[in-house]
Structure 1
Amino acid sequence: MSHFTLLSRVSALAVMTVLTSCAALPRSGPNEGAIVSEATAHIGKGAQKVGIDYVLVDLDKSIMSYLERYEPASFEAGFGGGRGGAPDITIGRGDILQLSVFEAQAGGLFIPADAGARPGNYVTLPQQEVDRKGNIAVPYAGDVHVEGLTADVVRRQIEERLANRAIEPQVVVTVVESRSNLVSVIGDVNAPKKVEISQNGERVLDAIADAGGISTPSLETYITLLRGGREATVLYDTLVKTPKENIYLAPDDVLSVNRERRTYMVFGAASATGRINFDDANLTLGQALGEAGGLSDTQADPAQVFVYREESRDQLQRMGVDMTKFAGSDIPVIYRANLRDPSAYFAISKFAMRDRDIIYISNAKTYELTKFLDIINNVSTTNGGVPSDVLNARNAIRGF
C-alpha cells in the first residue's frame, strides 16, 4: 500500500472517530469544553500563552563557567571575618567587672603602711555592673566610661587617673560576666541558648556546637546569620567544608538553624518522574538525571532536556543577556542541554542543581506520532485493512 493511501485511511478514520465517537468514549469526569462553557466567570487567556517572559539559554562552553558552582549566599562575602584574628571584644552595658589595683609598696593610696601579712600589695574592689551610661565608679578615679572599650584600654585609663595619687599603680580589669557580648542560637539545635563571645572570639560552628549541635540532617540544614538588619543563609554542609564561611560572630548576632527539604522536580520523558530529594550537597544535572533513571529510550528527545529556574538579574547580565526586556531582580530562565552531543555529558556533570529546580525532558517527535497511531489502531473500524497498516507504520516509527 502506498504512503498516500495509508495516510488517507488514517485521516479518514481519525475524522470519523472525532465526529461519531467522542461522546461515547469513557472518561472520569467532564471534559475541558464542558468546564469552560459552564463557568460563570473566567479569568485567564485560555489556550493562549501564560504570559511569563523567560530567557532560553543553551548549555555550551561559554555558559558553563557561570554555572559550575552555585553560591546563593555567603557569610564571608556578606559580613567578612572569615580569615585573620578574632575581632576585639568590647565592654558593654550590663557587663559585670572586677578591678584589682596593685601598688609598688605599702603605705600608698590603697595599701596601708601597717598592712601586716598580705599576699601582695594589691586590693580587689567589689564587682560592679556597667550602668546605663556605660560607666563604672572607681575610688579616687571617679566615674570611668567603659562602654565600647576593651579591658586593656580601660586598664590604662584607670592607671592614668591614679598615677598622681597611688604608688606606681597597676590595674587588672576582669570581665566576670558578659551580658552584652552574646549570640543567640535558635532553631533546630539540641540546646538553643545564648552563647557568650570569649576574648578569643567565637565562630559560627563554635556557637552551634555550644548549643548542642544541629538536630537535623546536615544535607537539609541551613544556617541563617542575622546581623544589624542584614542576613545571609548558608547550607550547613557548605559551612563545614568551606572554612572561609565559618566567620567570627559579633555581639547580638542571631544564628537561626532550620531544616529545609531540598528537592527538584522531573517531568516528561524520564524513566521516573516526580519530586526527588537531593542526595548530595553539590548535586549536578547529570546526577539528577541519573536519580530519575535517565531518559526514556522509547520516548525522550535527547536534544531537548530543559532545566527551569529563576536566575538573578546580575548573573544573566554577566552571561551577556540583554535585560532591557525584563523587570525585577529574579528572571525566569530555561537552560537547554543537547544530549545528542557527546560533549554535553561533560557539561551536565558540572551543571549545579538548585533547590526547587524543574527538569523537563521533551518527547521525541516520532513518539508523538506513535501515540497517535496507537489511538487509531485501538479504534474499531469497518475497514479491516487500516489497523494492520497503522500497526506496521507504528512499528516502523518505533524502529528509528
Structure 2
Amino acid sequence: MKVLTSRGAKALCLVALVATTAACGLPRSGPNKAEIFKGSVLKEGDAFIVTVNQRVTRATAVIPAFGFTSGFLNAGVVGSDTINPGDTLGLTIFENVRDDPLLGNTGQRVSALEEVQVDGQGYIFVPYAGRIKAAGQTPEGLRSAITRKLDTQTPDPQVTVTRLAGDGSAVSVQGSVGANGVYTIERPTRTLSAMIARAGGVSIEPEVAVIRVTRGNHTGKVWLQDLYSNPSLDIALRPGDKIVVERDTRAFVALGATGAQNRVPFATQTLSAIEAIAIVGGLNTNLADPTGVFVFRNEPAEIANAVLGRKDLRGDQRMVYVLDLTQPTGMFEARDFVVRDQDTVYVTEAPFVQWQKTLSAITGTAGAANSLSDVGTGG
C-alpha cells in the first residue's frame, strides 16, 4: 500500500475542493451574454434578440400619446356670465313709487333678493314675476325678462342681476396641486391652464406631471409641459369637469452590473438607454461588460414586425435589445434608443470578473486546505 506524503495529501485536497467549488458555481448578478443568447428563437428559445441600430431605434421610439379628443378641443370658451343650474344670483329691484311699492314696505323703493338659487331645471322664482327661466341666459338677458314680468305691475321697474359663485358653473381640481377644491368658472379661469393656476399650480416636477380631465363619460390626458408649449391643448372648461394632476407612473427596472439595482421612475417624458444607465449610477467599473447592455421588453406585434422585417407575428413578443457601448456608434445608439414603461435594463458582468471570482475561490480553498492539513499534522 502506498502512503501519500503530506504534500501529496494537500494537493489532492486542493483538487477536490476546487472541483467542488466549480460544481457549485460562483455568485454573480445574473446571466452572462452566452446564457442570454441561448434564449434566442434561433436556438429554440422564446425571445427575439436584436442588436440595436438606427433602424431599430426608429422603429421602437414610441412614447405615450396623450391628448384630447375633438369634443374637448372644439368646445368654445364658456361665457363668463352664462347662468347655469345650481348658480346663485343676487337680484336688486328699484321701484319708481313711494307710497305703495310692489315688493317693499311703504317708502322703501329698493328691494334686494340675495342668494336666489337656480333650480335643477334652470328656473328661479321672483315674487310677482313667478318662475323665470334663468339657465342659459346672461345676467342682462335675465334682467330684461324680470323687467318685462314686473312692468305690468309696477311702473318702470329697474332690475339688476348679479351672478354669484355657485355649484352650477364649477369644476373640481384634485391631485398634485397647491389647493384641492371646487372652483367656479369665472372670466379669468375659463381655460385649463388658468384653472390649474387658480388652484395654486402643480406641486410636483413639471417634467413628470400629467393632467387628466374627465367630462361626462369622456377622459383626456395631456403632459403639463405640452399644455404650456402648445396653446391648442389649453381647452375651454365646462361646468362639472373633473381635473386631476398626477405624477407619471412609468418606471423601468435596472439589474446587473450597474451602480444600483432598483425600480426607477421616469424623470422625463422620454428616457434613453444611456440616461437610464446614468440614473442608476452608470456601469460598475469593477464588474460591467460594456459590450453586454440588454433591454428586455414585451413588444407589441406591430412594432416587433417592424423591427424584424416580418408581418406574421401576432400578440406581444419577447424582445431582447443588445447595446454594445464599445462600438464606434455604440454610445450614439444608446443615446437614441428609447426606454419604455416596464422595461428591464440589464448589464452583464465582464468575463474576467468570473475568472477573478474563480481564482479567489481557489486561493481561499487552498488556504483552507493548508489550514486543515496543518491542524491534522499538528504543524
TM-score normalized by the length of structure 1: 0.59
Gaps of 5+ in 2: 1-11, 28-38, 101-108, 368-379
Match of 1:64 among 54, 57, 60: 57
1:225/1:326 Cα in 2 relative to 1: closer, same or farther (>3 Å)? same
Query: Which residues in structure 2 correspond to 1:333-348 (within 5 Å)?
Result: 333-348=319-334
**CA contact under 8 A between 2:126 and 2:132: conserved in structure 1?**
yes
Measure, in 2, the Cα distance between the counterparts of 1:174 and 1:133. 19
Q: Which has the higher helix share?
A: 2
Aligned-partner SS, 2:331: helix
Query: Which residues in structure 2 correspond to 1:58-97 (within 5 Å)?
Result: 58-65=51-58, 67-68=60-61, 70-74=63-67, 76-77=68-69, 80-81=72-73, 86-88=77-79, 90-97=82-89
Match of 1:358 among 318, 333, 344: 344
**CA contact under 8 A between 1:154 and 1:173: conserved in structure 2?**
no
**In the TM superposition, what is the alpha-carbon distance from 1:286 to its structure 2 partner?**
1.7
**CA contact under 8 A between 2:91 and 2:113: conserved in structure 1?**
yes
**CA contact under 8 A between 1:78 and 1:232: conserved in structure 2?**
no
Paired residue for 1:252? 240
Query: Which residues in structure 2 correspond to 1:71-220 (within 5 Å)?
Result: 71-74=64-67, 76-77=68-69, 80-81=72-73, 86-88=77-79, 90-98=82-90, 126=113, 128-137=116-125, 143-147=131-135, 149-151=136-138, 155=142, 158=145, 174-199=162-187, 201-219=189-207
TM-score normalized by the length of structure 2: 0.62
* Residue identity matched to 2:314: K
1:350/1:140 Cα in 2 relative to 1: closer, same or farther (>3 Å)? farther
**In the TM superposition, what is the alpha-carbon distance from 1:358 to its structure 2 partner?**
2.5
* Residue identity matched to 1:265: V
1:114-134 superposed Cα distances (whole Å, 9 cap, x missing partner): 99xxxxxx9988453222322
Measure, in 1, the Cα distance between the counterparts of 2:129 and 2:51. 74
**CA contact under 8 A between 1:141 and 1:158: conserved in structure 2?**
no
Paired residue for 1:227? 215
Gaps of 5+ in 1: 1-11, 28-47, 103-109, 116-121, 382-400
- Residue identity (%): 27
**In the TM superposition, what is the alpha-carbon distance from 1:67 to its structure 2 partner?**
4.9
Aligned-pair RMSD on alpha carbons? 5.2
Measure, in 2, the Cα distance between the counterparts of 1:304 and 1:342. 15
1:306-355 superposed Cα distances (whole Å, 9 cap, x missing partner): 2234556666577676575326xxx6654333334323423332334445
Query: Which residues in structure 2 correspond to 1:378-389 (within 5 Å)?
Result: 378-380=364-366
Q: How many residues align?
A: 329
**CA contact under 8 A between 1:98 and 1:124: conserved in structure 2?**
no
Aligned-partner SS, 1:180: helix
